[in-house]
Structure 1
């Protein structure tokens, strides 16, 4: 696969996708979207990959949509943002929401506008201490997109989400961690090493159990308690039949670290 706006490296079970337009603060354009979808598809097909890390090159995770891109216009000559959302952002958010493998957004720097919501669509968010999140849409008289009006209220509540959207206030990494938007904050100097160690630890875990847990949490948002209990029983039976469960029990009895194979 020939990539011009991002890089993909694979280290054991971890694939790292790096947004690589540092001169544009990794602003998203149509080419980057197409390459990102293609790369995510390839990682999903690769049975050796258990986790995908999404990060940025240089000073930013991403500054959001590249407003210098040649955007479509309607018959009155006005910029029409509907087609890029339908073609690029909506499919990407749905892909991340339904992705079969664990995804980690590693915020090496600011995640602004749509890129904040792309990060929040990942399963886990890690951040360098100097990073921040920002729903910057109101600064240019736009409505939050890329799933922001759906994801953010579910994470921090509708009132907090609305305030963050209307003010477009930047949220420093440590403050975002306190709000539940970021799982862990690492020092800038050690960030790449800390992210790699975190990803390796999760990727070496029981892959099937992780996938089932991810699915169960996602379905819990719309399930009743009774439906969720039934779902847990279904998934637990599946996990209980797995090689990794037997390995986990054996390792526990033998007082050693388990060697999970992901099935």
Structure 2
């Protein structure tokens, strides 16, 4: 694994850290290649129940590395760049689609494709000092990583258009009011609060957690009747699992359940 990405396992929680602090974790080819690989590994590891994505230093992610883009512009071709972007955009797709619950811990500036990554996560927790900005128009770009899609579903069309088109900086508190951020905490408390949230999710029944995420993912594409049919099947499968039996026994005994994922 490149130094551009740091990975740390804490039980069933895996932290993936963007590690270019001097560049505000702006994403170049090396970082993105290794980020996709790290998230793909999370998606295929049943032991990972929660993934936390965050940034080193004072930023979450400032978006794409414009300096690297400018330096390589003469050698670029549209076909090659499209293939490269599609490969790298899998990072956002994996955050949304992987079985594990994903949390973006936004510790500072969150802009451009960095905003797209955060928006693709299941939950977002932000430091009070965090600032959000679409920033694409500043770079003469229309937006990638599914940012417009994610923001439209998280915030509704009006607020998504406000963030994308007005291109203004948005405080953590305003992001909370819009519904972009799940929770805002003091900067010094971000790591501890993220760990607490991740640990609580990781302690949940694994089968139920994964199938709940599938229900939520399908909600954007299925009609209601089909969604009811599919979530009914998953619900009954969970009801007959060892974990559901353990949950019932623990409730009656007034003890903490010990889930096994079976």
| Bin of the TM-score, shorter chain as denominator length | over 0.9
Q: Tell me how many residue pairs correspond in the alignment.
A: 260
Match of 2:176 in 1: 177
Question: What is the alpha-carbon distance in structure 1 between the residues aligned to residue 80 and residue 11 of structure 2?
Answer: 43
Match of 2:140 in 1: 141
Match of 2:85 in 1: 85
Shift of the alpha carbon at 1:103?
Answer: 0.8
Match of 1:227 in 2: 226
Q: Is the 8 A contact 1:72 1:83 kept in 2?
A: no
Match of 1:208 in 2: 207
Could you list the per-position Cα deviations for residues 30-54 of structure 1 after superposition, in whole angstroms to 9, with x for gaps in the alignment? 1111111211222333332211100
Question: What is the alpha-carbon distance in structure 2 between the residues aligned to residue 34 and residue 262 of structure 1?
Answer: 31
Structure 2 residue 194 is matched with structure 1 residue 195: yes
Stretches of structure 2 lacking an aligned partner (at least 5 in a row) = none
Question: What is the alpha-carbon distance in structure 2 between the residues aligned to residue 79 and residue 127 of structure 1?
Answer: 37
Question: What is the alpha-carbon distance in structure 2 between the residues aligned to residue 83 and residue 44 of structure 1?
Answer: 22
Could you list the per-position Cα deviations for residues 67-126 of structure 1 after superposition, in whole angstroms to 9, with x for gaps in the alignment? 111445578x8998534322312x222222221111111001111111001111011111
Q: Are the structure 2 counterparts of residues 79 and 24 from structure 1 closer, same or farther at C-alpha, using a change threshold of 3 Å?
A: farther
Tell me the TM-score normalized by structure 2: 0.93
Structure 1 vs Structure 2 CA RMSD: 1.9
Match of 2:121 in 1: 122
Could you list the per-position Cα deviations for residues 47-69 of structure 1 after superposition, in whole angstroms to 9, with x for gaps in the alignment? 32211100000010010000111
Q: Is the 8 A contact 2:40 2:94 kept in 1?
A: no
Shift of the alpha carbon at 1:140?
Answer: 2.1
Match of 1:27 in 2: 26
Match of 2:2 in 1: 3
SS of the residue 1:103 aligns to: strand
SS of the residue 2:193 aligns to: helix
Q: Is the 8 A contact 1:111 1:134 kept in 2?
A: yes
Tell me the TM-score normalized by structure 1: 0.93
Structure 1 residues 46-55 or 99-108, which shifts more?
Answer: 46-55
SS of the residue 1:117 aligns to: helix
Shift of the alpha carbon at 1:162?
Answer: 1.3
Could you list the per-position Cα deviations for residues 148-193 of structure 1 after superposition, in whole angstroms to 9, with x for gaps in the alignment? 1211111212222112111111121111112111111111111111
Structure 2 residue 12 is matched with structure 1 residue 13: yes
Compare the two structures and name the one with the higher helix fraction: 2
Shift of the alpha carbon at 1:17?
Answer: 0.7
SS of the residue 1:182 aligns to: coil
Shift of the alpha carbon at 1:227?
Answer: 1.2
Q: Are the structure 2 counterparts of residues 80 and 169 from structure 1 closer, same or farther at C-alpha, using a change threshold of 3 Å?
A: farther
Question: What is the alpha-carbon distance in structure 1 between the residues aligned to residue 96 and residue 48 of structure 2?
Answer: 18
SS of the residue 1:7 aligns to: strand
Q: Is the 8 A contact 1:71 1:79 kept in 2?
A: no
